[in-house]
Amino acid sequence: MVDKISKDIKENVEKFKNTFKDADDLVYRNIKIGKKNKKEAYLIFIDGMVDKSVISDYAIEVLFDEMEIDESNLDSYKTSLSEKISEESIAVHDVKEEDSYDKLVDMILAGETVLLIDGSDKALILSTRGWPTRGVQEPQTETVVRGPRDGFVETLRFNTALLRRHIRDPKLKIKTLQVGRRSKTDVAVVYIEDIANDKIVEEVINRINKIDIDYLPGSAAMEALIEDSYLSLFPQLENTERPDSAAASLLEGRVVIIVDNTPFVLMVPATIGTLFQSTEDYYSRWPIGTLVRFVRILSAILTAVSPALYIAFTAYHPGLIPTAFTLYLAASRVNVPFPAVIEAFLMEITIEILRESGTRIAGPIGTTIGIVGGIIIGQAAVEAGIVSPLKIIITAITTISFFAIPSYEWASSLRIIRFAFMFLAAVLGLYGLMLGIAILIVHLAKLESFTVPFSAPYSGLGLKEGDLKDTLVKAPIQKLKRRPQFTFPKDKTRMK
């Protein structure tokens, strides 16, 4: 049964005070409505979550000076008194009537102001949200040489407005949901109605509605709660700080999920192809974009297999490499007291420690620590005979390749895979590495992202429909007339 407010304002105020007991930031502003025939009312809001100038100028002032209540005919409109005030007096841009007590509590917690009026069993919700926010700035994680400099912020409505600026289409739909029994975090599901596949949109909304948690800390938690396989190492959703990147994904038939209190939005479905794409690709000429994509794919391969290949060739298969190189490798390892396996793991773990240390120290100091620490430790390790010079070179190539991959989550997954491949190479040599690669391919082939194969467009529909024009290569824009088909868009053509 819905708990409704009563016509007795004292009873209503007491009820709110019991609910918000020991909440010192809650403000109860008692006012008298009208110039002559005064009527008691209360404004209830949370200090710090409202724009007080809006309350003072467009609510309190007009209720004091402009509102007139006909005492002789008061009984005739008592039940619609809130509606009369809403229509004739309140100058706030958005005013709603509400009689549900629980809904009023939720609105107060969301930063709105509730106006209780004596004699009315309906309250008014005044849109007065206003709290300190970070201004729109250039994203720190996805900088571009040529392109927009705006980035998402922590306020959901600012983020939806940024998307509206990029796509001025009435078919751009925004559905707002709430997640979290206690946090009641706003979540917006954004899609283009006549492009996005209905099944994908419904799947996204259904998964969000099924979340039963008390607090949703951000988009990372949302990603973990709605992804297809939480046990997989690989990200099945893509994230971005850039409105232009999110807008481009919407026009491909994908769905964008915006979580309040975080500047990172999620894009679904995600595939191997989309994780290798970068915003910079679309602000560069197509030959440069194509070259860079091949570099990224090569970087991903080097990140995953370079140390494992070093172990396999050094410990198990030295006969497979040229004789001159074998002699050089043997000479460089004469003074190294550890086998190749221990040497490789020692260097990789050291690099991971340096990377984590640099991440924890904000600003350029963290980057400096990583670079200087790597140089000093590497030089000292070679001079002390702990590792060979070749292993230092391979470790450096592996580390640099990691940063060439656009998606941090995708690159981080390959970091973990690298250690698994190193272990298999240490046990079985090249046979172990090949076994690991085969298992990885099978896993990627089975993985899905919101009903879409994660391996798309490198298999199945993508090969038939020509999606490789914007994955392996960056074709000229004149050739990209069709939308990617792995999302099964309703409108398949984007340019004629």
pLDDT one-digit tens code per residue, 109-156: 999 999 998 888 889 999 888 887 888 888 888 888 888 889 999 999
DSSP 264: P
Looking at residue 473, what is its pLDDT? 86
Q: What is the DSSP string of 285-353?
A: -HHHHHHHHHHHHHHHHHHHHHHHHHHIIIII-GGGS-HHHHHHHHHHTTT--S-HHHHHHHHHHHHHH
pLDDT one-digit tens code per residue, 179-233: 999 999 999 999 999 999 999 999 999 999 999 999 999 999 999 999 999 999 9
Segments of the chain scoring below 50 in pLDDT: 71-72, 74, 76-79
Segments of 99-251 assigned E as strands = 113-117, 123-126, 172-179, 185-192, 238-240
Assigned token pair, 124: 């008014």
Name every residue whose Cβ is closer than 8 Å to that of residue 404 and which is 6 or more positions away in sequence. Answer: 295, 296, 299
Query: What is the distance between the alpha carbons of residues 326 and 313, in angstroms, rounded to a whole number?
Result: 9
Query: What is the distance between the alpha carbons of residues 260 and 315, in angstroms, rounded to a whole number?
Result: 52
Looking at residue 246, what is its pLDDT? 96
Looking at residue 77, what is its pLDDT? 47
Looking at residue 95, what is its pLDDT? 86
Question: How far are the Cα atoms of 142, 279, 289, 290, 291 from residue 285, in angstroms, in the given order?
Answer: 19, 13, 6, 9, 10
Three-state SS for 132-168 is CCCCCCCCCCCCCCCCCCCCCCCCHHHHHHHHHHHCC
Q: Note the Cα 19 to chain centre separation in Å.
A: 34
Question: How far are the Cα atoms of 24, 248, 318, 347, 398 from residue 393, in angstroms, in the given order?
Answer: 60, 39, 18, 11, 9
CA nearest 486: which of 459, 223, 474?
A: 459
The number of residues in the chain equals 496
Query: What is the distance between the alpha carbons of residues 62 and 115, in angstroms, rounded to a whole number?
Result: 13
Looking at residue 485, what is its pLDDT? 87
